[in-house]
Structure formats: C-alpha cells, structure tokens
Amino acid sequence: MPETMRRAPVDALVAVGLSHRTAPIDIRERFALGDRRRAEWVENLTARPGVSEGVVLSTCNRTECYLAGTDAEALDRLGREALCAVSGMGPAGDSYLATLEGASAVRHLFRVTSGLESLIVGEPQIQGQVRGAYRDGRPMVGPVLHRLFQSALEVGGRVRADTSIASGVTSIPGAAVGLARKVFGSLDDRSVLVLGTGEMGRLTVQCLKREGAGRVFVASRDPDRAERVSRPLEARPMRRSAALEALDQVDLVIACTESEAAFLRPEQVGGPRTGAAPLVILDIAVPRNVDPRVAGISDVFLYNIDDLRHMVDRARAAREHERERAEAIIERHVARYRAWRRSRRADPAVRALRNTARQLVVDALAARTPVPDEDEALRLASQAALNKVLHGPTRAIRWLAERSDGEACLHRMEPWLAGRGEPRVPAGSGEVRTGG
C-alpha cells in the first residue's frame, strides 16, 4: 500500500544573544564562552527536547546561539535559560538578551559575518570566528544550520569582494594601536608589551610594527608560543610571569589573551616607575585581562575595548556609503535561503510521489507471468524509466513549495501524491495548465 504523505515539520530558527550594542563590557564578559566551554555548552543545549541543532558564536563583542528545532518559543526560552546560566546572573541577565526569529535571524548572521554588526565595521576577523564556531559546532549541526552558516560565509566573502566595506582601520588591534598613537603622539621611541599570542596578539604586533614602535615584547605563559609569534615579526619573546614583573620598563601594555579571568591586578601594576612617562594599558580582551581597579592607580591609564568606540566612529562614517551595496548583497542571499527553507517542505511530497510510483511498478511486475532471466533486466529498465518520468514532477513540486502559498498547494495535492485519488482543486480554479 502506498505510504501516506507526512507533512514536513516546520523548522523554527532563532538567534539569542547579546553584543556590544546591547551590553557593556562588564556584562559581555560574563556571557563569554571560551573554546573549551563552547562545544560542551552547545552539546548540553542540543540534548534538550525541542532543540535539534545548535551553534554558539562567542567573540569579544558578542555571544549568540543559533538554534533550530520545532518551536521558536521553546528555542528562545531554552537559549535564554542556558545563556543566563553561563553568566551566573540568573534571571537578571535576561534583560540584556535579544532574540531574532526566522528571516530576521538569517539576516542578522549574514550582517555579522559581513562585518556590518562589528564594533569596527568591515573588520575581517569576524568571518574567521564565524567559520570557527561553525566548525566547532559541526557535531550539533543539521541541514538547517549547515545551510545557514555556509551561506553566511559565502555572503561575508562576497560583501568584502564586491564592496570597499573593509577599507581603512578594520580591526580591533588596529584601533587599539591607533588609540595608543593618539595618546603618545608617536610610538617610535616607546616600549610596548603585548600580552597574548593568539590571532589578536599577532595582529597587534603587526600593527605596532607598521606604526614603527620602538621595542615590542610578546609575552605568553608558553615560551614556545611567544617565540613563534615574535620571530617573524622581529619582536622579543618573554615569559608572562617575567613580563608582569617588568611593567615599570614599558610605556604601553596591550592585553589580548584568551584567559577567562583577569590576571593583571593592582598589586602587580602599582609601585614606582623607572621612566617619567605614565603607563598606558589597553585591555582589548573579553573577558578582560586587567582588573578594572587598576584604573585607580596614579600615572596608570586603563582603556578597555568599549573605549575604542570614538576611534572607530570616523572609520565607520567613511565606509557608510558602502553599506547600501553590502545590504543589497545580504538581502539577495536572505531571499535565497528563505526559498531553500520553503523548498524543504517538498521533501515529504517527493517521497510520497516516488513511493506511489514505485509501488505501481512493483504491482505491475508482480501481476505479469514471470519470465526466467528477464525479470531483473525488466526491473532495472522500469526503475530507470521511472526516474526519468519523475524528474520533471519532482522539480515542479520543489518549485511549488518555494511559493508563499506552497504549503497549502501541497496539502491539496496530498491525496494524489499518496495514490489516494485526485488533487483537491479549489472550486472555480479552472483548468490546470501544465505547459505552453
């Protein structure tokens, strides 16, 4: 008996999180998820009933989880509960979270990946961070988020290739070094300590070298990592413990490690300075590497990532004319993704059609008198012919599913697709045209 057509479940998609637009640094750092915690957190969340897929994106400017399942309201609630648990703030953290659903969530991720939602518009690091979040979340990714993140990465590349959105200062390290240059006037005769050997640390050293910084030290708990980052950039490697004991020998500290807690405390910074110049500390890490109480020490000036805003306002204004072109690219890809999502409603209909047709062939073959040595050849030939015959109707069903009224149309076709009669054509709809 032909299999009854089962209607496809509605795949809900939500994005829940916070960013530099909705929360200050002291709140964002409480929601931050490092690489080690991220995979476990998503795995635990996707084990909850109603959550079929999940990816979490956690950077210095945002923590967002993208969830797919059967019910948007349930996904929103579960995402908020899980994020608030991470923050340790309980229900109080909920007020900082925002939720986007469906096409709005798709558009948001495309904007994020393109750099339009970044503190520094057009910054390129976010695309690598989105790729890393997708890669780390692959065990918890299904068809909905796979297509979403693949599309987002394609959009990000297209926006950067077809617009000038990434011109000028387009990185947080670049903005930090720009702020340092503004404070000191010139970095030519300054000694700089970079705490961190990850991507942010490497970019910071590159920016410092381009600005002609006098002496650049790179510190890490792992001496080998400090050596690997320092050597190609002609900087000087240091063990972090030794560097923290020699703060009185430098003019500028830029902290950008992936530590989950502040490690530079007032007692390490305080004390007489050998030079006459004050100490400037730029903490561009999230969570912060520097205890905020350091700002209260005489002759020490502490800035965090949120203090870079005024440095990037000019760059944002200069690239504003490129935003419309980027938005147009994003909207085209949002439309494509939405069409793909709608086309997935055709899967049960296609299965029903193929099962019905296959059963008709099986019944016809079973009704004939068996002919030795011919049955297998006849079966294979029938299957090949069936595939050719069904190719056109399959494409038509998928096209129909992409329409805004596609679900209703497929519902009317259900009896016919399942081999149980004729399509339910609305009264007065006229003759169905199939070509011409």
**Residues 345 and 407: beta-carbon distance below 8 Å:** yes
Is there a domain that residue 399 lies in?
A: yes
Q: Would you say residue 1 lies in a domain?
A: no
Same domain, 161 and 46: yes
Is residue 231 in a domain? yes
- Between 393 and 98, name the one with better pLDDT: 98
Pairing of strands 12-19, 98-101: antiparallel
Query: What's the pLDDT at 160?
Result: 92
Q: What's the pTM?
A: 0.77
The DSSP call for residue 303 is E
Most confident range, picked from 101-110, 211-220, 304-313, 339-348: 101-110
| Long-range CB contacts for residues 309-316, cutoff 8 Å, separation at least 24 | 309/119, 311/169, 311/175, 311/178, 311/179, 311/182, 312/119, 312/120, 312/121, 312/169, 312/175, 315/120, 315/121, 315/168, 315/169, 315/170, 315/175, 316/120, 316/121
- Give the CATH number of the domain where residue 83 resides: 3.30.460.30
Q: In whole angstroms, what is the distance from residue 259 CA to residue 289 CA?
A: 7
The percent of residues in the chain predicted with pLDDT above 90, rounded, is 52
83 and 205 share a domain? Answer: no
Judge if 58 and 93 occupy the same domain.
yes
- pLDDT beyond 60 at 417: no
Before 24, cis peptide (omega within 30)?
no
- Which residues form the domain of 402? 346-417
- The radius of gyration computed from the CA coordinates of the chain, to the nearest angstrom, equals 29
Q: Which has the higher per-residue pLDDT, 207 or 372?
A: 207
Q: Above 60 in pLDDT, residue 271?
A: yes
Distance CA 212, CA 342 (A): 54
How far apart (Å, rounded) are the C-alpha atoms in residues 125 and 119?
12
Q: Are residues 261 and 145 in the same domain?
A: no
Domain count, the chain: 3
Residue 74 in this model has a pLDDT that exceeds 60: yes
> Do 279 and 336 have their domain in common?
no
Report the relative pairing of strands 252-255 and 191-195 from DSSP bridges: parallel
For residues 71 and 28, membership in a common domain is answered with yes
Q: Are residues 95 and 117 in the same domain?
A: yes
Confidence band (pLDDT; 50, 70, 90) for 322? confident
**Which residue from 69, 99, 68 is spatially nearest to 81, judged by alpha carbons?**
99
Instruction: Read off the DSSP letter of residue 7.
Output: P
Q: Are residues 97 and 119 in the same domain?
A: yes
pLDDT digits (tens, 9 = 90+) for 33-60: 987 788 888 888 888 888 999 999 999 9
Catalytic residue among 60, 65, 84, 256: 60
Least confident of 17-21, 26-30, 171-175, 412-416: 412-416
Q: How does residue 3 score in pLDDT terms, banded at 50, 70 and 90?
A: very low
pLDDT of residue 377: 72
Residue 340 pLDDT level (bands cut at 50, 70, 90): confident
Whichever domain contains 233, its CATH number is 3.40.50.720
Q: Does residue 84 carry a catalytic annotation?
A: no
- Which pLDDT score, from 0 to 100, does residue 43 have? 86
